[in-house]
Amino acid sequence: MKASTPCYSLCKDGTRLAWSCLLAICVLAAQANAADLRVPAIVDADRAFSISLDGAGEATFYLIGPDHVVKRTVTLGGALQIQSSDVRAVGRYQVIVCGSSCSSATFDVRATQPAHISFFLHPSRVPVSTPGSIDATAFVFDQNFNLVLIPSTVAFQVHPTNGTSFTRQGSTRLGVTWIRMDSTTKEGRVQVTAALRNVQEARVIQQVASEACGLHIKALPNGDSVTLETDPVRDCSGNALPDGTVVSFTKVDHAGKSTVDTPIKKGIARVRLSVHGSAQISVACGVVLGNEVTVNGKL
């Protein structure tokens, strides 16, 4: 509590005798009007409590918080009830009581039990079997959306559609925790739930096939053209690359070099090329090279 302002202005012009008398009056007046504030150092958000106001007479009470300002007349000499609605937001609150002088005190409001999790899962699509490719972040708030600063453990429950569920845990620091996970080996929907006591928040990401693996084409000559067709295009975990993924066929013959891009349809990519004489044809998908075939077309 801060010291009260002295009742000086009333007394400063008095003579020695009058000074003594006025001083006594000032002391009595101060006792009657200055509030002796006793406030708790920390209170929980959204909880009512009381402040002890010693002294006598009426005074103006102020409560100033992050989202709230209260001003009202109070009678000194008792307990002043602070409503739960007055302290919903965490932070520092200032109490000021002004009678003939002003007294002030501060207290902190802290968050209560976790009631909300703000949960981010990144990215929304991720290739399978990729180390450290999924980030899960959780902010923990109480029922009034105050950040809960007391460390707590958030369980990140991972439920792949194709695969075994597992749980990872993260401990909050300053209300936030994050973990980094590997994607699993099978494509499909993965639900991740951040859970803390009875609070849960779920997000879903899609695991997609990774780069092609063992890319292979076969050639079916037909007169002066050749039809090239891949085997079903899969990644190294056996997941089919999605339709629409582009496969590039590159032909080198005596007419020069040409490339045709074609999307995968129903798991395979197919293209028909005209060839003049002997030609080498290679295939690629993304950064992956496949086999090369040699064909001999008619001139």
Partner 1 sequence: MKRLLTTASFMLAGSILTLAQSLPQVHLDADGLKPRSIEELTGASIASNYALAWRDLEAALESSQAGGIGDEFVGTAKDRLVQRITEQKRTGVHVRIADRGHQVKAVFYSSDGTAMQLTDQAQLEIQILDGNKLLDTENVTHHYIVLMTPGADRWYVRDLEEVPTNVF
- Residues of this chain that interact with partner 1 (CB under 8 A) are 2, 42, 60, 62, 64-71, 89-92, 94, 96, 98, 102, 104, 108, 120, 122-123, 135, 137, 139, 145-147, 149, 173-176, 178, 180
Token representation of residue 227: 């039809």
DSSP result, 210-277: -SB-S--EEEEEETTEEEEEEPPPBBTTSPBPPTT-EEEEEEEETTEEEEEEEE-BTTB-EEEEE--S
3-state secondary structure of 135: strand
Smaller CB separation from partner 1, 17 or 42: 42
Beta bridge partners of 89: none
User: Please, what is the minimum distance in Å from the beta carbon of residue 132 to partner 1?
Assistant: 10
CB of 66 to partner 1, least distance (A): 5
**Is cis: bond before 131, omega within 30 of 0?**
no
Closest approach, Cβ 265 to partner 1, in A, equals 33
* Closer by beta carbon to partner 1, 15 or else 85: 85
**Comparing C-alpha atoms, which of 292, 7, 161, 178 is closest to residue 169?**
178
Q: Which CB, 57 or 267, lies closer to partner 1?
A: 57
Write down the least CB distance from residue 193 to partner 1, Å. 19
The smaller minimum CB distance to partner 1, of residues 137 and 193, is found at 137
> To the nearest whole angstrom, how small is the minimum distance from the Cβ of residue 119 to partner 1?
11
Nearer to partner 1, 139 or 156 (CB): 139
Q: Residue 285, class by beta-carbon neighbours within 10 Å (0-12 exposed, 13-18 middle, 19+ buried)?
A: buried
**Rounded CA gap, 245 and 108, in Å?**
57
Cβ distance to partner 1 smaller for residue 173 or 265: 173
Q: How far is the CB of 32 from partner 1 (least distance, A)?
A: 20
Q: Are 202 and 191 in contact (CB under 8 A)?
A: yes
Coil, strand or helix at 290: strand
- 164: Cβ–Cβ under 8 A, 6 or more apart, which residues? none
**Distance of closest approach, residue 218 Cβ to partner 1, in angstroms:** 42
Helix residue ranges per DSSP H, the chain: 16-33
CB of 274 to partner 1, least distance (A): 43
Question: For residues 49 and 145, which CB has a smaller minimum distance to partner 1 in the complex?
Answer: 145
Residue among 123 and 214 whose Cβ is closer to partner 1: 123
What's the rounded Cα separation, in Å, for the pair 200 and 196?
6
CA-based angle 97:7:10, to the nearest 5?
130
SS3 33: helix
